[in-house]
Amino acid sequence: MRELGADGATSDRVFPGDVFYRETDDGLCVLDVVWSTVVSR
């Protein structure tokens, strides 16, 4: 689990953690997105 600071992170907010892409002749092609959810304690 990745720890986030309090600067702007709110509980239950979902954001893209890692984006995997491939370079093609037409530019970048997104292959997969790993989503993360902010959890408060």
CA dihedral 37, 1, 4, 13 (to 10 degrees): 0
Is 23's pLDDT higher than 90? Answer: yes
Pick the residue with more confidence: 12 or 35?
35
Is 29's pLDDT higher than 80? Answer: yes
- Contact call for residues 14 and 36 (beta carbons, < 8 A): yes
Query: What is the reported pLDDT for 20?
Result: 94
